[in-house]
Amino acid sequence: MMKLEKTTLELGYIPLLDCIAILWAKHQGYFEQQGLDVKLAKEASWASLRDRLAFGLLDAAHCLSAMLPAAASGSDQIGIPLQTPLILSQNRAYISLSQTLCFKFDITTADAKSNAHKIVQAIHAGHHILFSHVFKHSIHHYCLREWLAKADHDLAHQIKFTALPPPYMVQALSQHAIDGFCVGEPWNIQGNICGHSQIIASSQEIIPNVADKVLAVTAEWADEHPNTLRALTQAIQMAQHELKSLQNYAQVWKMLQEYEIIQFECSEHQHVFEYYRIQHIIQNFVENHAQPKAEDFIWLTKQMIKWDNLDANSIHLDHVIQQCIYNL
């Protein structure tokens, strides 16, 4: 076994389905098999996770892919380079709207283009509709912009969104603080089951199949702990591989409930379609090879230029890619 530079690690995550491989690696003892003692740290928001990772309070983290080019370009106002050796999920976000507004605007199916036109028409008619995404630098933000741009490019640039941590989306909508949101699962499913919201579009209809969440470390940490990072990645890859082919999800489901990621009744006998849909999502978070791709970070950087007013002349895409991707 290779000599590990560090064996006791703190790994941050946000309660979402796509942190599942990290949780499962801990549950199954795959970290221990690699000689690692990993403590999982549930973070309150993407902002706090990003800051704690950047400033060394976390060794590694379940991270938004767009945070990496934001760090490489300095547009995150921190400028500490972040790198990833592993994709945790690809393009699995959804847009949900309150059921009240779905009824009001005659939105009955998850048709991205048609529903974008209905929302834009409602806004032009004087309805104030507030959407929330999870963080400025995220595919969720860009998905909302690209979705509305299908109906009105100018409105897509002008409209204001709010940012909320994923676990607070349904609560905020139920309290009428927001009208809709773009987030990963299980929060869209929870909103639907609880009777508050309805899925009206999928990111897969709107944006390319780019990385959504990644395993991230700072570039400095990666340089100092290459063997540890390789062991950490291998443990999570073992979990990813097992989750793809697992036949019995009872233990996975129990674990998701214990970590308070699943907070609603859902089983083989209750909300059955949602139960199996969640299994399908878990099995298909990543393709067979979850290595980061240059084109993902090129697309994310171009979205930052398009929607975040990032100066294109100050960005060198080759540099961004080199900063973001760690090759094991």
Joined together, the tokens standing for residue 126 give: 């004087």
* Res. 168 pLDDT band, cuts 50 70 90: very high
User: What pTM was computed for the model?
Assistant: 0.95
CA distance 231 to 85: 11
51 SS3 class: helix
Give per-residue pLDDT as tens, 110-163. Answer: 999 999 999 999 999 999 999 999 999 999 999 999 999 999 999 999 999 999
Q: Are strands 37-42 and 93-98 parallel, antiparallel or unpaired?
A: unpaired
Angle between helices 272-283 and 226-245 (to 10 degrees): 140
Give per-residue pLDDT as tens, 8-37. Answer: 999 999 999 999 999 999 999 999 999 999
Least confident of 99-103, 213-217, 283-287: 283-287
Q: What are the structural domains of the chain?
A: 8-90+211-324 (3.40.190.10), 93-205 (3.40.190.10)
CA distance 46 to 67: 9
Give per-residue pLDDT as tens, 220-268. Answer: 999 999 999 999 999 999 999 999 989 889 999 999 999 999 999 888 8
Give per-residue pLDDT as tens, 267-322. Answer: 889 999 999 999 999 999 997 678 999 999 999 999 999 999 888 888 888 888 88
* Res. 1 pLDDT band, cuts 50 70 90: low
Give the dihedral of Cα atoms 244, 38, 223, 44; nearest 10 deg: 80
Q: How many CB atoms lie within 10 A of CB 113?
A: 13
- Per DSSP, helices labelled H in the chain are 20-27, 30-33, 46-54, 67-73, 99-104, 112-124, 139-149, 153-158, 169-174, 187-193, 219-224, 226-245, 250-258, 272-283, 294-307, 317-324
Give per-residue pLDDT as tens, 181-203. Answer: 999 999 999 999 999 999 999 99
Average pLDDT value for the chain: 95
Closest CA to 279 of 309, 305, 251: 251
pLDDT of residue 310: 86
143 SS3 class: helix
Give per-residue pLDDT as tens, 66-92. Answer: 999 999 988 888 889 999 999 999 999
